[in-house]
Chain A
């Protein structure tokens, strides 16, 4: 698929990996709609670039998402590509010991993380896929997962949510594939973003880096260029591609 002139929605495009992707897609000549909750960063983006629409929408609210897609569709009349990138990194084991005693994973955290990383992907994709089918658009859906989907100790809710995202990628590739709509997953390893540095101590980052055969964290452009490659390649469908410097080998 040629990206030039395509209408592309990037969720969570105000920061980190998503932000870099937005810049790269604009460079490729796409029209980009960024959906995020970070109002300040959205305002910055909108004021600095042409061909960008920004929408302040919390993807965990299904009704808000539906209204948002209706309004984008009425403006564009066609949505070619959806990149489900918004997500919240989170670490918490099922049960842990602390100086204060034994501590259970909080139920509220479970709900919040499943909602932000999994339900949100369903809420928006069901609306976008409907529009793609209505217009018979041979579109692409890219789901950003994580290598944690394989089961990462210390990330109960996040790992489960991302494994769920991988299941959606496989399911949608079969359901929508017959209409020429591709669904692909990208599974980043540890990437040098603010969010990574926020949830991991520097000592933990050092330990992880030592385990990566390339001995480094990935950069946001490594993931962005991977996403763009799978959009362009018309025969990739249903697979989750790991971009992790070889960590999971």
Chain B
């Protein structure tokens, strides 16, 4: 469940930011990705929320600075849901 979630998350990030899976890793900072801008960031939040059926808090959103940060936040939410 968690692994499948991570794969799906990466797919979403790549699709919203229009980049290939190979071009990003956990350390990729969103602001350093050429296609990232504040509007795409909003789209990313909404896409993630609707895929995982969660609502991110303000703290979650401002802490999502890298791909790894997003993974951590979403994994936390998925695990909480599974408990």
Contact, CB under 8 Å: B55 / A179: no
* CB-based nearest A residue for B42: A178
Judged by a CB distance under 8 angstroms, whether A175 is at the interface is yes
Q: Does the CB pair B42–A136 fall under 8 Å?
A: no
Asked if A134 is an interface residue, CB under 8 A from chain B, the answer is yes
Could you give, for residues 41-76 of chain A, a 1 whenever the CB lies within 8 Å of some chain B CB and a 0 otherwise?
Answer: 000000000000000000000000000000000000
Chain A residues near B39 (CB-CB < 8 A): 175
Contact across chains for B58 and A179 when beta carbons are under 8 A apart? no
Chain B residues near A178 (CB-CB < 8 A): 42-43, 46
Nearest Cβ on chain A to B55's Cβ, whole angstroms:
6
Question: Which parts of A162-193 form the interface with B (CB within 8 Å)?
Answer: 175, 178-179
A179 proximity list for chain B (CB < 8 A): 42, 46
Interface size for A (C-beta < 8 A) is 5
Q: How far apart sit A136 and B57, CA to CA, in the bound complex (Å)?
A: 8
Point out the residue from B42, B55, B58 that lies within 8 Å of A175, measured CB to CB: B42
Contact B43 A136 (CB under 8 A): no
Q: Quick one: closest B residue to A178, CB to CB?
A: B46
Residues from chain A with a CB closer than 8 A to the CB of B42 are: 175, 178-179
Distance of A136 Cα from B54 Cα, bound (Å): 12
Measured in the bound complex, the distance between the Cα atoms of B43 and A179 in whole Å is 9
- The distance in angstroms between the C-alpha atoms of A178 and B58, with both chains bound, is 16
Contact B55 A136 (CB under 8 A): yes
In the bound assembly, the distance between CA atoms of A179 and B39 in angstroms comes to 12
Instruction: List residues of chain B with CB within 8 A of the CB of A134.
Output: 58
Q: How far is the CA of A178 from the CA of B55 in the complex (A)?
A: 13
| A120 CB to nearest chain B CB (Å) | 24
Residue of A nearest to B50 (CB): A178
A134→B55 CA distance, assembly (Å): 12
Question: What chain A residues lie within 8 Å of B43 (beta carbons)?
Answer: 178
Q: Which of B27-83 contact A (CB under 8 A)?
A: 39, 42-43, 46, 55, 58
Q: How far is the CB of B54 from chain A (nearest CB, A)?
A: 11
Complexed CA–CA distance, A178 and B43 (Å): 7
Name A residues whose Cβ lies closer than 8 Å to a Cβ of B: 134, 136, 175, 178-179
Listed by A's residue number, 9 A-B pairs whose Cβ atoms lie within 8 Å are A134-B58, A136-B55, A175-B39, A175-B42, A178-B42, A178-B43, A178-B46, A179-B42, A179-B46
- B: residues with CB less than 8 A from A are 39, 42-43, 46, 55, 58
| CB-CB nearest 6 A-B residue pairs | A178-B46, A134-B58, A136-B55, A178-B42, A178-B43, A179-B46
Query: With contacts A136-B55, A178-B42, A178-B46 known, what are 6 further pairs, Cβ within 8 A?
Result: A134-B58, A175-B39, A175-B42, A178-B43, A179-B42, A179-B46
